[in-house]
Chain A
Amino acid sequence: MKMKKNLFGQSSDFLQNNLVPIMFIIICIICYPLAGFSPSYLLNEIVTRMGRNIFLILSLLIPIMAGMGLNFGMTLGAMAGQIALIFVTDWQIWGIPGVVLAMLLSIPFSVLLGMMCGKLMNMAKGREMILGYMMNYFVGGLYQLVVLFIMGPIIPIKHASIRLPRGYGIRTTVNLTSLRQCLDNEFAILYKGVKIPVLTFIIIGALCLFILWFRRTKLGQDMRAVGQDMEVARAAGIKVERTRIIAIIMSTVFAGFGQIIYLQNIGNFPTCTAHTQIGMFCIAALLVGGASVEKASIGNVFLGVILFHTMFILAPRAGAAITGDAMIGEYFRVFVSYGVITLALIMYETKKRRAKSQGGQLLAQAQREGGVRS
């Protein structure tokens, strides 16, 4: 009887902990036959989107490790990446050297923005996510000022192909033809209609190894300690504020690299809006993979990208098959991506409160028992 109860309890815990991925697996299983895609087409799309998105999502892991939650401020890194890409396009640096140069150029911008974000987050401990989210709008305005007014008269932009006809500012779309899929096509393998971007996966693999190695370093251990309990970490001599700033800077730099990898795959980007949804979709994908606000792993990133993007591919066609209108599927996927973030935040808050009340109850019980004894 006890064994049965344990099994029931275990499966209930498993369901509770993996509710979101299970829900997505079910949605994908239902949508797949309705969409009517061939397995090779679907696999090709998933592999392409994995190469495009995983690096960006991996950039979210370090702030979670440091207890700063989901870094909505990763968008700042994306903006840094875009500024670097504008320069590289203007200077006509093509191919892989162009991507490498863009990554190098994005570092100072990302570090600066990350430092600012980290310092502000230290002033608003416990409210990092909403602060990061609002920072997007604030820095987004600054970014628009730079690309629409400062680029041209103050920062020289030579090429008419990216400059607005009025003589200053960057055009609404920047064409990255000279960089398009240069990473994805290098050493690419075509297997039964599925293109595997080997170099992109090698870069992603390198970042995964870096994250695994970093967790074991002194700084990585410090971040984990800060993530578990800031006061205990401070008492142990860890510079909490500095560690948190480093976590955000690292995340912003990786997000900048990730945005460059993402945009070289797409081949162009809308200057003022390319970064706006990146944070939201990356966070949604990570949560779909079973991560939470306080715990995430590399496995969650991979599972999340596969499930979230499988739904992205299948939902419009399945929507069209069911209702005759592809937009229904589109609405559905938007609803699900934002819904999953909401659900994760509610679950996190509920768990936190439950743990707090359980702690309180245990304390009260201990006090009562202590009172009876005395």
Chain B
Amino acid sequence: MKKRQLLMQLAALAVCIALGAVMMIIGRGHTVYLDNKTLEDYQGQTYKAAHKIVVTVDGKELTKLGPRERGMSPCIGQSFKMSLEITQEKGGEPETRVIQLDLPYGMDGIIVNLPALLAGLPEEAWMSEFIPAPEPEEPDEEVPGEGDEFDIGGDLGLDDGLDIGGEM
């Protein structure tokens, strides 16, 4: 009876761990930054930004990107699917492409260079990590529990230490 109970407990623990692992994979959040920016001098070649790219994610139009513009989309999971309507030149015919990307687990913010991606270049050419600019020095946040509770300040009136006067 005890053995069966132990087995049940271990099975429950295993289910919880497995469920947690699945949640960590399917729930990993990323922010995908989409750049319509000319990629210069990649192996001696330049990949020009398109005149206009309309990005659609989950059936909703996310953004319209002109040259040197950036769009942003939050994404949950390890894969990101988008539909791009690309107009290379002004007045040109738009071309629609559906693209699915596998996102690296370790990156929070991912920059995707669309001209390089559309040109079929390797991943290192079109994907890079978004590193936020260092924050300016902030004043320290007030930490609860620091200082005296009664807001007396200073050294709680013990200027002279615990000297009670007189000589020992």
Contacts and interface: CB of A to CB of B under 8 A. Distances in A.
Contacts of A160: 132, 135
A92 B144 contact: no
Contacts of B135: 160, 165
Contacts of B159: none
B23 A98 contact: yes
A100 B140 contact: no
Interface in B43-94: 74, 76
B140 A95 contact: no
Contacts of A94: 27-29, 74, 76
A272 B132 CA distance: 27
A92 B29 contact: yes
Nearest to A160: B135
Contact of A101 (B23, B142, B143): B23
B20 A164 contact: no
Nearest to B143: A148
B31 to A, nearest CB: 9
Interface in B1-43: 16, 19-20, 22-24, 26-30
A159 B27 CA distance: 17
Interface residues of A, number: 26
Nearest to B22: A97
Given A93-B24, A100-B19, A178 B145 contact: no
B141 interface: yes
A148 to B, nearest CB: 6
Interface string B82-126: 000000000000000000000000001000000000000000000
Nearest to A92: B29
Contacts of B16: 104, 107
Interface in A96-111: 96-98, 100-101, 104-105, 107
B149 interface: no
A148 B141 contact: no
Contacts of A114: none
A220 interface: no
B148 interface: no
Given A98-B23, A101-B20, A104-B20, A172 B142 contact: yes
Nearest to A144: B145
A91 B20 CA distance: 12
B160 to A, nearest CB: 31
A98 to B, nearest CB: 5
B23 A93 contact: yes
B74 A148 contact: no
Nearest to B16: A104
B143 A169 contact: yes
A68 B75 CA distance: 46
B141 A165 contact: yes
A95 B76 contact: yes
A367 interface: no
Contacts of A144: 144-145
A30 to B, nearest CB: 39
A355 B22 CA distance: 55
B50 to A, nearest CB: 30
B143 A164 contact: yes
Contact of B29 (A95, A169, A272, A273): A95
A166 B29 contact: no
A171 interface: yes
A93 B28 contact: yes
Contacts of A98: 23, 27, 29
16 contacts: A91-B28, A92-B28, A92-B30, A94-B29, A95-B27, A95-B29, A97-B26, A104-B16, A104-B20, A104-B23, A107-B16, A159-B108, A160-B132, A172-B142, A172-B143, A272-B145
Interface of B: 16, 19-20, 22-24, 26-30, 74, 76, 108, 132, 135, 137-138, 140-145
Interface of A: 91-98, 100-101, 104-105, 107, 144, 148, 159-160, 164-166, 169, 171-172, 178, 272-273
Given A92-B28, A164-B140, 17 more contacts: A92-B29, A94-B27, A94-B29, A96-B27, A97-B24, A97-B26, A97-B27, A98-B23, A101-B24, A101-B27, A104-B16, A107-B16, A148-B143, A148-B144, A159-B108, A171-B141, A272-B144
